[in-house]
Structure 1
Amino acid sequence: MTAGVAVCTALLLAFHRAVPGGPGSLLESFLPWLGVVVVVLLPLGAARRSALALIALLLPVAAWTYRFGPLLLPAPEPRAGGLVVVQHNVSDENTDPAGTARALARAEPGLIALQELVEPARTVYERTLARDYPYRTVRGTVGLWSKHPLSGARPLDIRPRGVTEEWERGLRAVAHTPRGEVAVYVAHLPSVRVGLSGLASSRRDESARLLGDAVAAEPTRRVVLLGDLNGTVHDRALAPLTDELNAARRGLSPSFPAAFPVARIDQVMARAATVESLRTLDATGSDHLPVLARITWE
């Protein structure tokens, strides 16, 4: 029994794309948690003194280490000339927007991307961040604050079909950093529902495709995407983005829900650049944890 479960776990880790549809997307959203199966099975195999079970357990250990082990390695020393960014869904129910803004600014990033900006909290973020971040652009419920000049700011149409209400959850701007121009995308993809059939995510998936098309057509060579994508980088539905952009090399860092994070759905990705490391910051008044990433240019 133990050996059979170990082999199945290894197969799921190695061939998760073979699981179809919603169940496959749900599996990929929580793929790192398959490591818990190994932790549970190890003492069972030892208690039974089963050589076969212990040997079989090497399969999921190897598969998990191959896929996620590099993320656990220490982050490299920051290189000069890079860019530090913060991504945070601040929650439209956040009762302390000023405290949240101050907490993000203390990390001293060059860029801060926020989602779920609503009045009157939006005005509080603008006022609190104004001194350290003189450049900003806000479109609908998403915004970008920058230490560097911004140009070419415009809304990004990632609205899925069937959404008729007011819905602006994407923007694009160019940040003029000391190392050159970088196109910055800020996005908040639709939420998903978890059910017996897996993830109900058609709107999220369509919005991801639209965002991926926009990134693919972006003429600026360097691109940074900051967003609440409501999906992990292992989720096949985000392939339009992960095919175009690099994800973080270091840091598992689950960001949601803040009380007990189980998945990182807040992402920082880049093109013609490397996301060297990513980590979460302390909790704010949001149900998401902020994530901080260090980016170096190719």
Structure 2
Amino acid sequence: MAQQAYVTETDGGGSGPERRESRFRRLTHRLIAAWRGDPRIWRRGLVVAALAALLALVMVAHAHIPNRFGNLGSLTETFLPWLGLGVPVLLLLAVVRRSASALIAVLLPAIVWLNLFGGLLTDKAAGGGDLMVATHNVNADNADPAGTARSVAASGADVVALEELRASAVPTYEKALASTYRYHSVQGTVGVWSKYPLGDIAPVDIKLGWTRAMRATVTTPAGPVAVYVAHLPSVRVKLEAGFTARQRDTSADALGEAIAGEPLERVVLLGDLNGTMNDRALNAVTSQMRSTQGAAGSGFGFSWPASFPMARIDQIMVKGVEPVKSWTLPETGSDHLPVAARVRLATGS
């Protein structure tokens, strides 16, 4: 009888949250007791445990996945952050299977993912900076180039790079941006608009046979900055060929070589690189420059596709310049999101 009175008091007494907490505690104790009393707790779920170990291995050793088979390594690295979605799925399976082995194994990919990308989850943006830059692949088939141009200009950027410019639409962009940007240059399908004077303007050969990259010196109040604008070739995923990126990789090597030979100390690269910072194929560029999103952003800053961003292939990268803030801009008429960053050129800015 005393035991019955105790149960009645526990269930009926206290506030709602206290009763819910008590029930949750009892349920937890029952589950733990059931698991402890089950001799198969370590033998069950070995397939789930093996999948967790494999997921961890893929993430930790992604750089060793060969590219000679359909550029599988680059494909994995392009969507590497999304492999983290496998962790909660495996965790749920481990709980359903009531497997201690699987639960412990799931810790492996969770730890690896946090080691790779945990730093991106914190907001690293700071105040200050003396130059704001933005880049946008405007999409050659953009139905509203004027509106897109006005949207990017409204960001307040001092320097704007545009990629995938259709020749017939260039006058529209020039007209829409003329009141905000006094200086500009279009080379092939890429262009740069600036509030500060431009000089030493020249196309950059990225081994395509036509111009999709350029360089200019922007003379800012804090001194000259070399600005590169690039649109590397697109990549495709095909069943018969895998991740086709050979032309993109060749262009990335050529762009990296051009930047390595840049005489100015301060360099900013703006453009659609059709690849992420994790993709080893862009190493000629990424090995010598910093991503503003990684250094001063919040989150992954995915930029493509605009309707449901899954990868950051639009990049702002710097050398000899300190990033202070990086973010994506609102959607325009393009299938890419514009990306922007503030950087520090002068000491104390």
In structure 2, the partner of 1:59 is 108
Segment of structure 1 superposing worse, 41-50 or 55-64: 41-50
Looking at structure 2, the residues matched to 100 and 143 of structure 1 have their Cα atoms a distance apart, in angstroms, of 14
Q: 2:219 aligns with which of 176, 198, 216?
A: 176
Contact 1:170/1:187, CA 8 A, preserved across alignment = yes
Segment of structure 1 superposing worse, 47-56 or 222-231: 47-56
Cα displacement (A) at 1:45 = 1.5
From the CA coordinates, give the structure whose radius of gyration is larger. 2
In structure 2, the partner of 1:190 is 233
Determine whether 1:241 maps to 2:285: yes
Contact 1:24/1:198, CA 8 A, preserved across alignment = no
Deviating beyond 3 angstroms after TM superposition, the runs of 4 or more aligned structure 1 residues are 274-277
Cα displacement (A) at 1:18 = 0.9
Residues 44, 16 of structure 1: alpha-carbon distance in 2 compared, 3 angstrom cutoff? same
Residues 277, 65 of structure 1: alpha-carbon distance in 2 compared, 3 angstrom cutoff? farther
In structure 1, the partner of 2:59 is 13
Determine whether 1:216 maps to 2:252: no
Contact 1:252/1:264, CA 8 A, preserved across alignment = yes
Q: Which has the higher helix share?
A: 2
Contact 2:126/2:325, CA 8 A, preserved across alignment = no
Counterpart residue identity of residue 233, structure 2 = P
Segment of structure 1 superposing worse, 231-240 or 287-296: 287-296
Aligned length: 292
Looking at structure 2, the residues matched to 52 and 276 of structure 1 have their Cα atoms a distance apart, in angstroms, of 44
Looking at structure 1, the residues matched to 129 and 152 of structure 2 have their Cα atoms a distance apart, in angstroms, of 22
In structure 1, the partner of 2:127 is 78
Contact 2:125/2:326, CA 8 A, preserved across alignment = no
Counterpart residue identity of residue 101, structure 2 = L
Looking at structure 2, the residues matched to 234 and 24 of structure 1 have their Cα atoms a distance apart, in angstroms, of 10
Cα displacement (A) at 1:129 = 0.7
SS in 2 for 1:71: helix
Looking at structure 2, the residues matched to 211 and 80 of structure 1 have their Cα atoms a distance apart, in angstroms, of 27
Segment of structure 1 superposing worse, 134-143 or 115-124: 115-124
Aligned-residue CA RMSD in angstroms? Answer: 1.4
Residues 280, 68 of structure 1: alpha-carbon distance in 2 compared, 3 angstrom cutoff? same
Segment of structure 1 superposing worse, 58-67 or 90-99: 58-67
Cα displacement (A) at 1:87 = 0.9
Cα displacement (A) at 1:146 = 0.8
Looking at structure 2, the residues matched to 221 and 207 of structure 1 have their Cα atoms a distance apart, in angstroms, of 23
1:207-286 equivalent positions in 2, closer than 5 A: 207-247=251-291, 248=293, 249=295, 250=297, 251-286=299-334
Cα displacement (A) at 1:159 = 2.4
1:100-115 equivalent positions in 2, closer than 5 A: 100-115=148-163
SS in 2 for 1:104: helix
Looking at structure 2, the residues matched to 35 and 277 of structure 1 have their Cα atoms a distance apart, in angstroms, of 25
SS in 1 for 2:290: coil
Looking at structure 1, the residues matched to 103 and 329 of structure 2 have their Cα atoms a distance apart, in angstroms, of 38
Looking at structure 2, the residues matched to 80 and 194 of structure 1 have their Cα atoms a distance apart, in angstroms, of 39
SS in 2 for 1:120: helix
Determine whether 1:117 maps to 2:117: no
**Deviation digits for residues 99-123 of structure 1, max 9, x if unmatched?**
1011111110111100111133211
Cα displacement (A) at 1:178 = 1.9
SS in 1 for 2:211: coil
Cα displacement (A) at 1:269 = 0.5
**TM-score scaled by structure 1?**
0.94
Cα displacement (A) at 1:257 = 1.4
Cα displacement (A) at 1:207 = 0.4
In structure 2, the partner of 1:87 is 135
SS in 2 for 1:45: helix
SS in 1 for 2:167: coil
Contact 1:268/1:275, CA 8 A, preserved across alignment = no
In structure 1, the partner of 2:118 is 69
Contact 1:246/1:274, CA 8 A, preserved across alignment = no
Q: Calculate percent identity across the aligned residue pairs.
A: 50
**Deviation digits for residues 190-226 of structure 1, max 9, x if unmatched?**
1111124531111100000000000000000010000
Which sections of structure 2, spanning at least 5 residues, go unmatched? 1-46
